[in-house]
Structure formats: C-alpha cells, structure tokens
Structure 1
Amino acid sequence: MPEKLVTISTLARLLKTTNHTIRYYEDEGLFKPAEIAPNGYRKYGMSQAYQLSFILFLRQLDFSVASIKQILQTNPSVTDLLLAKKIAIQTERHRLEQLEKILDDQLNIHQNSASPTLKVATPFYLQSVKRLPIDYDFGITEIMDGNWNPDFILRKLYYVITPDYYDICIVSTKPTSQKIAPGEYQLTPIKASSAESFDQQVAPYLKNQKRIIALEDRRGFLTANSNLVIHLLIQKT
C-alpha cells in the first residue's frame, strides 16, 4: 500500500513550524518533498518528516544552514556531532556563569556605592592580588605588569590598608587571613586624587587600628570625574 502523503501545511503543524520555513529549507537544498503534484502542491511523507525534524533540531542547537547542509552531505556520526555540541554548550554555559558573577559584582558595586552603609549578613574573605607601598599610586601599569585576567578591572575591589602598605583584594571562595565579619558598616568616602592625598585622609583612621578595609567606588571613572573614591568600612557598634 503506497504511503499516504500530507500537505506542507499539515507537515508544518505536525512539527510546529511554518510553511515559509519549510520552503526556505527546500530552497537551500536541505531536503525535498516526496512529490510535487501537477498543480504545484508539495507532498510529504515520514521520510521528509524525520529529515525536517532533524534539521529543526540542529537549528535549535544553533547550527547554521550552511553547517547543516554539510552535515547532511557528509553524514558524520550523530553521536560525535552531539557530543561536540554538548561540549560547546557547556563551555558557553561556563562563560555565561562567569559573566553573571561579573554582573553581580557590578550590581553590588553600584548599589553599595549609592548607599551610606553596607550590611554583611554572612562573613566572607578577601584574597590579595597586589600589594603596594602606602605611598604608591595604583594604576593601569600594575594591572598590565600583574598579567591579570581582563575581567579583573570589572570585579569588586577591596583595599586592606595598613600604615606601610595596602593590599588590593577580591572576594575569595576560600578562607584567608582577611575576613569581613557580619555586621553593619558605615561607608566613609575618601577621594584619592593622589597617593599623598590618600595618605593624609586615611592616617587618622590608622592611629588606633592596624588595618582598615575599604571598598572601591569606580563610578567616577564612568564620568568626567576621574578621581578614585574608596569607602572605608567602619563597623557600627
């Protein structure tokens, strides 16, 4: 018994696509109808349904039409093809997760910078990425010399300041000697136009403390004002 064929509209409904999409893939040479009636109507069977469903699946995986054409012509191992795509998806997912972390950092930077206080619910730790003398200006050359990841400049930066040096830090996933304890902190702004100005403003806070922790506010770098501002974290009693 000959196979019953269906129209392009029926095939489109079955595979949740459109007549236009089916015609486009036909024009691109990805597959052909089972027959074309004298009146020009296209007819399709199970073979075309399987072919089209596979094409639509590959498009969902973001394969280009040119790539799909090559796949159909060379007939590679479907298992190898899908495994390679899975690895690519995992790589992209990792990239997006890292991008989400940077986005969270940026949100926290701007939200915290706009608030006079910082509330810490759970303790976290800081990892030093650069130590500089207290009278040394931190600039772009230090980033270049440090061979740091380019997204470092987008991370939330903390400063651990002592009378002799300061550490530039990022949040650590592991415990370190630099811990931010839970509590509410007053954010006291310091506008550092130079190392000398920075020293003068920080010195009074270091008289009775061995170290001070500060949060960088880089909003000034996004405007005409190019001065760095940091917020000293003064824990409220």
Structure 2
Amino acid sequence: MSEKLMTISELAKVFKINQHTIRHYEEKGLLQPSEVSENGYRKYGLSEAYQLSFILFLKELGLSLASIKLLIEEGSRRDYTNVLLEKKEKIKEEKLRLEKISKMVDEQIEISSKAKEEMYSISYAIKLTLLKRMPLSESFGISDLAEIKLSSGLFMEKIYYIIHETFYDICIEEAKGTHISISSGKYYFQLIEIGSEKEVDKEIEHALLNHGFPLIAIEDSERFLTNGNRITIKVLGEEK
C-alpha cells in the first residue's frame, strides 16, 4: 500500500508555518521531500512530517539551524539528551525569572488598592539576612552595594530596613536567614513615596512619632515601576 503524500502548501498548513520556512530548511539541508514530481512539485510523507516537527521543537528551544543540522547528521541519542537536559535547566531559570517578574507586577497592581489601608498583613514569618549595619546618620548607596559584593540581582529583591534609635540594618529575605525574623500577623502600615534623602528623613521621623522603634521599612519592586526617580517604600509599625 503506497503512502499518501501531501504538497508543501498542505504540510505548511498542518504546522501553521509558511512554505518559505520549509524551503529554507531544505536549503539548509535539514529536511528533504519524500519525492519531487516531474513538474517540480514537492511531496512529503509522515517521515518528513516527524522530521519537521523535530526541527520546529528544537527551534522553539532556541537552537540555531546549524546546531540542529549537527544533531540530525551526527548527533547520537546521548547528544540529544544532553541538549535537552541543558535546555531544561535554562527553562527552569527562565521560569523562576518570569515568576519573580509576575510577582512584581502583582505587587504593583495591588499597591494602589493598599495605598489607603492602615494595616499590612504578613502571612508567614520572614527570615532576614543582614547585609550591612549603618549609622542612622548615613544613607545606603551604590558604593555600599560594591562593598558587600552583591550582584545586580539585589535590585530584583525586597530590601528590608530595620530602623533602630542610632542605626539601621539593611537585610534581604532568605530561607536560612538568622539575623532577625518578622512575625506573621497584621502591622500598622504607611506607604511613602520619596525622591530625596531629606524626604526619607522627614517621612521616617513622622512614622517614628506614630510607632516608635524598631521600625520596618520595605523597599521592593515598586521602585522599578514608579514615575521618574521616586521610590515607594512600605513602612510597618508595631504589630496589631
């Protein structure tokens, strides 16, 4: 029983791509038609459909056509598996990155609804790791980042400032953090937006009048999404 073949236009329609893409893969030596009729019409069978599916899958993973051709021509099952394992790790990293961005977007959407609230809920105990302790008279700046040798990834994290009478601690949240733990519960909450050190001092002094020491200030993803160079900070007072 002879196999029923399809034309290039039919094959392109099945895979929702254009005919030029298939011709390009043929020119690169990745795919060949099952047969070419006397009038030049290309015909493709099930084997070519599987081959095209394989090529498109590897393209989706980000492989170049040259790499795909090498896998097709010389690659063993082990080579193919190694490529998949490598791509799997990159997919995991990308998934974590996108989850972090998604969380940042959710927080930015949520911030407008919380602007007028007076309470802030923490659903689980937050463990913090100390990055640096600073005198209250000094501001934390970009040079301090270089000193503690943190990567630019810090800018994607929440930064916690635990403010005491004469100093403040700069911290980040970590599962193994041992410096301090912020208990779950409801906290008196104030949202401030600042653009200079003077504004920070003024707003923090105002919050201290209402709540006293220690004061928890959280600088998080909103700093990326506010207009201009202003930064949004959540200030938590005593627990309710």
Query: Aligned-pair distance for 1:10?
Result: 9.0
Give yes or no for contact 1:124–1:181 (8 Å, CA) kept in 2: yes
Give yes or no for contact 1:135–1:196 (8 Å, CA) kept in 2: no
Structure 1 stretches (4+) deviating beyond 6 angstroms? none
Cα 1:15–1:206 shift into 2, 3 Å: same
Query: Aligned-pair distance for 1:17?
Result: 5.1
Structure 2, unpaired ranges of 5+: none
Counterpart code for 2:79: D
* Match of residue 219 from structure 2: 216
* Match of residue 163 from structure 1: 165
Query: Aligned-pair distance for 1:196?
Result: 10
Cα 1:144–1:54 shift into 2, 3 Å: same
**37-46 vs 190-199, greater mean Cα deviation:** 190-199
* Match of residue 69 from structure 1: 69
Cα 1:132–1:105 shift into 2, 3 Å: farther
TM norm structure 1: 0.75
Matched, 1:133 2:132: no
Cα 1:18–1:120 shift into 2, 3 Å: closer
* Match of residue 88 from structure 1: 87
Give yes or no for contact 1:31–1:51 (8 Å, CA) kept in 2: yes
**161-170 vs 101-110, greater mean Cα deviation:** 101-110
Equivalent residue of 1:186, what SS? strand
Q: Deviations over 1:176-219 (max 9, x none)?
A: 33323311422164858447972895398389855221223764
Instruction: Identify which of 181, 184, 191 aligns with 1:181.
Output: 184
Q: Deviations over 1:147-185 (max 9, x none)?
A: 112021232222101112101122232463332331142
Instruction: Tell me the C-alpha RMSD between the 2 structures.
Output: 3.8
Give yes or no for contact 2:136–2:167 (8 Å, CA) kept in 1: yes
Counterpart code for 1:216: E
Counterpart code for 1:6: L
Equivalent residue of 1:215, what SS? strand
Q: Deviations over 1:45-93 (max 9, x none)?
A: 45544533433333343322232223333x1213222322322222332
Cα 1:11–1:58 shift into 2, 3 Å: farther
Query: Aligned-pair distance for 1:141?
Result: 0.7
Show the 5 A alignment for 1:39-58. Answer: 39-45=39-45, 47-58=47-58
Structure 1, unpaired ranges of 5+: none
Cα 1:98–1:173 shift into 2, 3 Å: farther
Give yes or no for contact 1:126–1:169 (8 Å, CA) kept in 2: yes
**131-140 vs 30-39, greater mean Cα deviation:** 30-39
Counterpart code for 1:181: S
Counterpart code for 2:55: I
Equivalent residue of 2:71, what SS? helix
Query: Aligned-pair distance for 1:7?
Result: 2.9
- Hey, what's the Cα distance between the residues in 2 that align with 1:40 and 1:220? 57
Matched, 1:147 2:146: no
Equivalent residue of 2:127, what SS? strand
Matched, 1:234 2:233: no
Give yes or no for contact 2:162–2:169 (8 Å, CA) kept in 1: yes
Query: Aligned-pair distance for 1:19?
Result: 6.6
* Match of residue 26 from structure 2: 26
Give yes or no for contact 2:12–2:22 (8 Å, CA) kept in 1: no
**52-61 vs 77-86, greater mean Cα deviation:** 52-61
